[in-house]
Structure 1
Amino acid sequence: MAVKFAYFLLLIIISILRSEQQTLRELKKRNVAKPISLQTITEAEIKAYMDNPANKPKLDFKPTGRYPQTNRAGLSEYHLAPQILGGTNASQKQFPWVAYMACDDRWLCSGAVISADWILTAGNCVYDINEFEIYVGGVDLDVEEKFEQIVFADNYYLHPNYSQITFENDIALIPVNLTFNDYYYPYIRPICLPKLSQTSNTFTKVSAVIAGYGNLADDSATDGSRFMQYVTLRTVNNAVCVANFGVSQFYSTNICTSPHPTKAPCHNDEGAPLMYRDPETGRYTVIGIYSFGSIYSCANRPAAYTRVSSFLGWISQVTNLAIRP
């Protein structure tokens, strides 16, 4: 009798876990994008924008955090060959900080683990949301993976100057309670935040990786991807995005990636981390958070990311994380 009861209880637990996995795949997804400017942006306007000191990367607030990130931050078990839309399936331990987030019953987003207590994501992902179901440590949403964690959060910190209309200051933090220990390492760990010395770094013309669960094509028959996907993109001068979106629709607090015919973030990749791998240390740093693209197409259009280095002060003040010099 006891054996039958234990077996019955096990079936119930398996059913609940499968239900949780299915919930992660059934929520509504949306497209956060801007129209390409209908007005021709002249070279003089672009030059004036780029030369304006107000449009240079800079720090927002003074960091006040006292606790450094773990020395395990930013390490990956895999090294990418140079080479989402046009992406490749990721493996467990490859991007152990990428989080998949179900936001109420309204939409889906991604985020980046920066400590056991915090996930960094886009402001448009958290705006007016009551509860988050967050999945980390795995790469396949339809199966229960050995080292995955599913946690819930009912609070968030949205940048005080975030604009729902323009997506300016499109950054947010979600407090969580992840388990960091030797059992889950190296399947779950944080990504490095930029250094304070990188505040003025434009991060232009670098190879960067974005990973998320967004649409695999503009006209995808299904919303999002079952598997975590990654793609390597090239960052470009902000003038490229200014020329496409307009001088009033792109900011110094953004990073721009180059248009590509087959590789790009797409609908439902919002909040996904744009990552730069330091060739000297082999560690990944989150330099951007996918914010918006073009309403017309993911391919052949530049994409815009929130520049994380511009918000190190705010991140440090909210999380109490110390920022490296």
Structure 2
Amino acid sequence: MAVKLSCFVFLIIVLITQSEQQALSKLKMKGFTKPARPTTQDEIIAYMKNPANTPKIDFKPTGTYPQTNRAGFSEYHLAPQILGGTNASQRQFPWVAFMVMDGSSICNGAVISADWILTTANCVYGVDEFEIYVGGVDTDVEEKFEQIVFSDYYYRHPDFDTSTYENDIALVPVNLTFNDYYYPYIRPICLPKLSQTSNSFNKVSAVLAGYGDTVENSATDGSRFMQYVTLRTVNNAVCVANYGSSDFFSTNICTGPHPTKAPCDNDDGAPLMYRDSQTGRYTVIGLYSFGSSSSCDNRPVAYTRVSSFLGWISQVTNLAIRP
């Protein structure tokens, strides 16, 4: 995939408030982070006992168009083993999208249909144009079976909070070609089932794939190659202990900490994927939302819990959710 950044200059006059300007400046950084906040044991216990902090769906899905039965299948099985990641191969994660926003900043996303890319709200905030690459794994070359699509619109969750990153989820409309020529290089990943909306996905093995930095404080933006890493989800109490109960929600999933494996700058929006051992299909259970401001590694990491937003996703896309 040869990334060609636009050289056009646009003059855009936008009137926004000072607080919006500050929020937009923060979101345009290489990746959103939060400082550690001292949290008492009593606060952690209270958070975990509060019924409001258990996973749940937002509202009943109304979509009627099912995902393709090809969704979620990969041509490769992972070795039992981004930061500390491994280069991915074509066809391994054929739903991972590399996104260039306004010709400069980068993010990641997940194909959920020929018409929609799922990503985080922090990736789309204030963006005018998306250049999206799907089907490839190398940003420096044009790859066979790769598709490049453009979009100038997005649907950001209406309750996205730029301070806490609550409800950090968005959808970008696209026009991908799904047919036998591109299959299995481009296909969607499964959305969670309705029966999984109360699943904590605690202590499961999950895979993160994206184009973020492979070392901290990198001089370049992101990785040339798609990287993947196998992570272990942990109880949300681990993230609450690090970020505080007012900055971590039931609509988040937590991984880590790990000394060498973690998402880093420019991994925003990268899909966290769970593979069903019986069917072999991958489901997107999370989207990388934020990490620690002190370090990429050895700190717990927060993801948007996709199952908490199935009603909103279905409402916007008209996709039916499996029972």
1:321 paired residue number: 319
Aligned length: 302
The answer to whether the 8 Å contact 2:252/2:304 transfers is: yes
**Aligned alpha-carbon RMSD (Å):** 1.2
TM-score, normalisation: structure 2: 0.92
The answer to whether the 8 Å contact 1:261/1:299 transfers is: yes
- Is 1:234 aligned to 2:220, yes or no? no
The answer to whether the 8 Å contact 1:151/1:178 transfers is: yes
**Structure 2 residues without counterparts, runs of 5 or longer:** 7-27
2:194 paired residue number: 196
The answer to whether the 8 Å contact 1:254/1:307 transfers is: yes
- Is 1:260 aligned to 2:242, yes or no? no
Distance 1:29 1:36 in 2: 19
Partner of residue 56 from structure 1, selected from 54, 57, 64: 54
Secondary structure of 1:240 counterpart: helix
2:5 paired residue number: 23
- The amino acid that maps onto 1:76 is S
Give the drift of 1:118: 0.3
1:85 paired residue number: 83
Secondary structure of 1:301 counterpart: coil
- The amino acid that maps onto 2:88 is A
The answer to whether the 8 Å contact 1:114/1:191 transfers is: yes
Higher helix share: 1
The answer to whether the 8 Å contact 2:5/2:103 transfers is: no
Distance 1:140 1:23 in 2: 15
Give the drift of 1:275: 0.1
- The amino acid that maps onto 2:178 is F
Secondary structure of 2:184 counterpart: coil
The answer to whether the 8 Å contact 1:90/1:229 transfers is: yes
1:18-62, Cα deviation, whole Å (9 max, x unpaired): 5xx2429xxx8612111111x2x1222101101100111011011
Give the drift of 1:67: 0.7
Secondary structure of 1:233 counterpart: strand
The answer to whether the 8 Å contact 1:29/1:108 transfers is: no
Distance 1:29 1:83 in 2: 30
Give the drift of 1:106: 4.5
Distance 1:239 1:29 in 2: 28
Give the drift of 1:131: 0.7
Distance 2:198 2:225 in 1: 35
Give the drift of 1:222: 2.2
1:108-134, Cα deviation, whole Å (9 max, x unpaired): 100000000000000000011111000
Secondary structure of 1:291 counterpart: strand
- Is 1:109 aligned to 2:91, yes or no? no
1:67 paired residue number: 65
- The amino acid that maps onto 1:23 is L
The answer to whether the 8 Å contact 2:5/2:104 transfers is: no
TM-score, normalisation: structure 1: 0.91
Sequence identity (%): 77
Distance 1:147 1:323 in 2: 28
Give the drift of 1:281: 0.2
**Structure 1 residues without counterparts, runs of 5 or longer:** 1-16
- Higher-Rg structure is 1
Partner of residue 276 from structure 1, selected from 271, 274, 277: 274
